[in-house]
Homo-oligomer: A and B are copies of this chain.
């Protein structure tokens, strides 16, 4: 069996720091980069971003919807981007937010987490609205192949609070219940002292108290979008995540990508250094 994803993440965070570069070829950025708004454009955008990220950060996060917009041609482009990123020893988080039940959900996991699949990534973001239990096949598949899963737990967009802060039958918030259920699976699947491979998506600007969250164990990777353009800064890493800050993968997209292709590597180097400084403080 491959090394577990939780431990691979721990090593990458330690070696390269928390910055994760989002691969978000939306129409406005394609135009800003002088690329065409089609499958060729998203392929170029993705490959150039991977090239700039390689050796400078530990993680990249392609946003699947920006490729899916171009159907099968967009997916073919994404396959090239995923392969290039994995070949460059980046940990690749496919941000697809898939969610379903039974064999349907299992096939999403197979698409993204099976070694040799054309869409192979290192981890996949998933949606727990149909129940954390509906993701058990995905957890099992991920564990089998040394892959990871990031479960949406608490997002920072204001519209999300209505559902995510609702109160379960166990008198906790939906967000807290999700973290509890997934953490129990991490405890069962990981060795003592190891990081769990089933991580969480928690927005960088989420108010933990308001969301009913508190530090949890076993430690598992926390994918935190919302750094950069959405307002969180490297200094927020400790401010927002406290004792869990060391597990945070800080995802930035627009704030870095808007540097444009010529200045992208420089922008990534500078930003990665800022995060490393905070992380090692």
Residues of chain A at the chain B interface (Cβ within 8 Å) = 24, 26, 63, 65-66, 68-76, 78-79, 97-105, 107-108, 110-111, 117-119, 127-134, 152, 155, 157-169, 174, 177-178, 181
Q: Which of B65, B167, B181 contacts A100 (CB 8 A)?
A: B65
Q: How far is the CA of A63 from the CA of B106 in the complex (A)?
A: 13
With contact pairs A118-B73, A119-B71, A166-B167 given, residues A159 and B131 touching in the complex (Cβ less than 8 Å): yes
Q: How far is the CA of A166 from the CA of B159 in the complex (A)?
A: 17
Q: Is the CB of A118 within 8 A of B72?
A: yes
Q: How far is the CA of A29 from the CA of B26 in the complex (A)?
A: 37
Q: Is the CB of B118 within 8 A of A134?
A: no
Q: How far is the CA of A97 from the CA of B107 in the complex (A)?
A: 14
A133 / chain B contacts, CB cutoff of 8 Å: 158-159
With contact pairs A71-B117, A79-B71, A111-B71 given, residues A65 and B104 touching in the complex (Cβ less than 8 Å): yes
> Shortest distance in angstroms between A67's beta carbon and chain B's nearest beta carbon?
9
Q: Is the CB of B169 within 8 A of A165?
A: yes
> Shortest distance in angstroms between A278's beta carbon and chain B's nearest beta carbon?
26
A174 / chain B contacts, CB cutoff of 8 Å: 163, 166, 174
> Shortest distance in angstroms between A149's beta carbon and chain B's nearest beta carbon?
15
Q: Is the CB of A160 within 8 A of B100?
A: no
List 12 additional A-B contacts (Cβ < 8 Å) besides A71-B79, A128-B163, A131-B161.
A65-B108, A68-B108, A72-B79, A73-B118, A99-B99, A128-B129, A129-B163, A130-B160, A131-B160, A133-B159, A162-B168, A167-B167
Q: Can you name 15 A-B residue pairings with CB atoms under 8 Å?
A: A65-B98, A65-B104, A65-B105, A65-B111, A71-B75, A71-B117, A72-B78, A72-B118, A97-B98, A97-B100, A128-B129, A131-B157, A131-B161, A163-B166, A163-B174
Q: How far is the CA of A70 from the CA of B181 in the complex (A)?
A: 30
Q: How far is the CA of A130 from the CA of B130 in the complex (A)?
A: 13
A134 / chain B contacts, CB cutoff of 8 Å: 157, 159-160
Q: Which of B66, B117, B178 contacts A107 (CB 8 A)?
A: B66
Q: How far is the CA of A97 from the CA of B100 in the complex (A)?
A: 7
A160 / chain B contacts, CB cutoff of 8 Å: 101, 129-131, 134
Q: How far is the CA of A87 from the CA of B230 in the complex (A)?
A: 43
A74 / chain B contacts, CB cutoff of 8 Å: 111
A177 / chain B contacts, CB cutoff of 8 Å: 162-163, 166
